[in-house]
């Protein structure tokens, strides 16, 4: 019986503990008492004293309740402050970018071979009777390249700009790729007909360095245009091999001899510079989106050298064979003329940018002076159609050299004005 009373008392005490906070809230919160009117907005309405039933003005010292409005977070003024800050035109801006790209190359070192060797073989018909005629029948195709980019830009009030930049174009090609010239030699008085690979490109590297000064003037709220001047330097390195094949007839001075190139390579290096005038434009489509375009007239001049070795094997009618090394050595002056076109789309968030663009170089290469020869003990008509002494064929032609590159470059900017650095 005592246990039953104790259990009943315990449940009654627990019931009071649970209901006591609820009663307390009902007694203190007017919104839970049906007899007490709902709380009003004291900032817009007057209240009545319950004792005198007289309307009273709101207390100016009491905190006013903030009005609740449906504001999108992205449009809140505090959230817009960073973008507004970076959308301003600052006195000074420093931008650093770096990126990568892919593209296509039509190399001048291969494009010049077909025309030059054909003309040289025609000339030899008179100077060396019985020399084989060399006809190009398969030209090299455009080759894939990889690119690396970096630049540093300083801007003053979004009008004046100084840019230091470097672009590196690199291509490495195996013998399975179409990076060569193919030739056909018809039968002549001393040689049987033959087909062979004349010149193959194994590696290409072109490095362009720029120091640009630009000014863009606003013609409207979104369009700016102005001149630019580029102090430009260019180096090019080509690793190439020379091929050949010939077989002499019975009427030849040495009948029944087969000659072909089995190895060796050469390095063709170019070094040029020039001052390139151009036009620079900007189109501001959005606060975060800008289009930029530049056209420059290319005219660069410099020097070139070709130095290397070629291993020749000679097989005779009696079964004996012989190996010899010949040394091609050439040099002179070179000039590239044409245009460079660049357009890019720039996306920005605060100080960060992402630029996607294309660079197109469309050039014609000429040789004001071309000198050299191939030194060795093997008769040149057996393996080579290259120039002897003065390269008239190279100097009389203009050769196509084209590079097209697509790139992506992330970047970051730093700003400075009277208020400080951002």
The mean-pLDDT minimum among 122-136, 300-314, 373-387 falls in 122-136
Beta bridge partners of 325: 311
State the residue range of the domain holding 264: 97-421
Task: Answer for the pair 336, 401: CB distance below 8 angstroms, yes or no.
Answer: yes
In a domain, 60, yes or no: no
pLDDT digits (tens, 9 = 90+) for 5-51: 444 444 444 444 444 444 444 444 444 444 444 444 444 444 444 44
Averaged over 380-397, what is the pLDDT? 89
> CATH no. for residue 257?
2.40.128
Same domain, 142 and 23: no
Q: Cα 390 from chain centroid?
A: 39
In the chain, pLDDT over 70 holds for what percent of residues?
A: 78
pLDDT band at 1 (very low <50, low <70, confident <90, very high): very low
CB count within 10 Å of CB 294 equals 20
The verdict on residue 286 lying in a domain is yes
Give the Cα separation of 377 and 325 in Å (integer): 8
**pLDDT over 90 percentage in the chain:** 57
In a domain, 88, yes or no: no
Q: Do 12 and 129 fall within a single domain?
A: no
For 120-134, 136-150, 214-228, 345-359, which range has the lowest pLDDT when averaged over its residues? 120-134
Do 106 and 17 share a structural domain? no
Residue 320 has phi, psi (to 5 degrees) of -80, 160
Question: In this predicted model, what pLDDT tens digit does every residue of 308-339 receive, in sequence order?
Answer: 999 999 999 888 999 999 999 999 999 999 99
Same domain, 102 and 20: no
Tell whether 8 and 152 lie within a shared domain: no
Q: Which residue has the tokens 């056209």?
A: 295
Please report, to the nearest 10 degrees, the dihedral formed by the alpha carbons of residues 81, 82, 83, 88 taken in order.
Answer: 90
For residues 170-187, give the mean pLDDT: 89
Long-range contacts of 64-72 (CB under 8 A, 24+ apart): 65/41
Give the pLDDT confidence score for residue 211 in this predicted structure: 98
Q: Are residues 28 and 165 in the same domain?
A: no
418/227: higher pLDDT: 227
What per-residue confidence (pLDDT) applies to 45?
A: 43
Q: Is residue 141 part of a domain?
A: yes
Instruction: Please enumerate in sequence order all residues whose Cβ is within 8 A of that of 50, keeping only pairs 6 or more positions apart, or say none.
Output: none
Average pLDDT of the segment spanning 276-298: 95
**Closest C-alpha to 310, from 329, 294, 291:** 329
Same-domain status, 311 and 174: yes
Residue 113 Ramachandran class (φ > 0 left, ψ -120 to 50 alpha, else beta): alpha
Q: What is the pTM of this model?
A: 0.77
Whether residues 144 and 25 share a domain: the answer is no
Spatial separation of the C-alpha atoms in residues 131 and 194, rounded to whole Å: 13
Judge if 26 and 148 occupy the same domain: no
The answer on 348 and 200 residing in a single domain is yes
| Structural domain total, the chain | 2
50 within a domain of the structure (yes/no): no
- Claim to verify: residue 144 and residue 8 sit in the same structural domain: no
Note whether residue 53 is domain-resident: no
Per-residue pLDDT band at 86 (split at 50, 70, 90): low
pLDDT band for position 230 (cuts 50, 70, 90): very high
126 lies in some domain: yes
pLDDT of residue 85: 55
Asked if the structure places residue 103 within a domain, the reply is: yes
Which carries the bigger pLDDT value, residue 218 or residue 28? Answer: 218
Looking at the structure, do residues 222 and 359 belong to the same domain, yes or no? yes
- Does residue 67 or residue 394 have the better pLDDT? 394
What was the pLDDT predicted at 150?
Answer: 97
């Amino acid at each position: 019986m005592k246990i039953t009373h104790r259990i009943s008392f315990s449940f009654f005490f627990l019931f009071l503990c649970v209901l006591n906070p609820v009663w307390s809230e009902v007694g203190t919160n007017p919104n839970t008492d049906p007899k007490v009117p709902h709380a009003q907005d004291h900032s817009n309405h007057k209240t009545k004293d319950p004792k005198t039933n007289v309307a009273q003005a709101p207390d100016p010292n009491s905190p006013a309740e903030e009005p609740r409005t449906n504001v999108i977070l992205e449009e809140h003024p505090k959230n817009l402050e960073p973008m507004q800050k970076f959308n301003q035109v600052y006195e000074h801006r420093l931008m650093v970018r770096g990126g990568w790209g892919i593209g296509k190359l039509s190399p001048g070192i291969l494009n010049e071979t077909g025309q030059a060797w054909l003309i040289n073989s025609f000339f030899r018909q008179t100077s060396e009777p019985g020399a084989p005629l060399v006809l190009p029948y398969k030209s090299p195709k455009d080759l894939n390249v990889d690119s690396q980019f970096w630049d540093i830009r300083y801007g003053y009030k979004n009008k004046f700009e100084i840019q230091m930049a470097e672009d590196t174009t690199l291509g490495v090609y195996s013998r399975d790729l179409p990076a060569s010239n193919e030739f056909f030699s018809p039968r002549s008085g001393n040689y049987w007909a033959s087909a062979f690979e004349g010149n193959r490109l194994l590696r290409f590297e072109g490095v362009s360095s720029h120091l640009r000064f630009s000014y863009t003037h606003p013609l409207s709220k979104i369009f700016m245009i102005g001149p630019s001047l580029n102090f430009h330097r260019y180096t090019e390195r080509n690793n190439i091999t020379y091929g050949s094949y010939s077989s002499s007839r019975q009427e030849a001075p040495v009948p029944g001899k087969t000659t072909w190139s089995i190895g060796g390579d050469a390095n063709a290096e170019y070094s040029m510079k020039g001052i390139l005038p151009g036009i620079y434009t900007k189109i501001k489509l959005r606060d975060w989106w800008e289009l930029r375009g530049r056209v420059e007239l290319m005219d660069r001049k410099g020097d070139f050298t070709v130095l290397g070795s070629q291993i020749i094997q000679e097989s005779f009618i009696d079964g004996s064979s012989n190996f010899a090394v010949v040394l091609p050595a050439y040099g002179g002056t070179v000039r590239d003329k044409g245009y460079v076109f660049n357009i890019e789309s720039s996306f920005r968030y605060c100080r960060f940018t992402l630029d996607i663009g294309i660079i197109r170089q469309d050039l014609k290469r000429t040789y004001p002076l071309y000198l050299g020869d191939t030194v060795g003990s093997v008769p040149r008509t057996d393996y080579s159609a290259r120039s002897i002494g003065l390269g008239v064929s190279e100097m009389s032609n203009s050769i196509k050299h084209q590079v097209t590159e697509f790139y992506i470059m992330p970047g970051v900017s730093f700003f400075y004005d009277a208020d400080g650095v951002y």
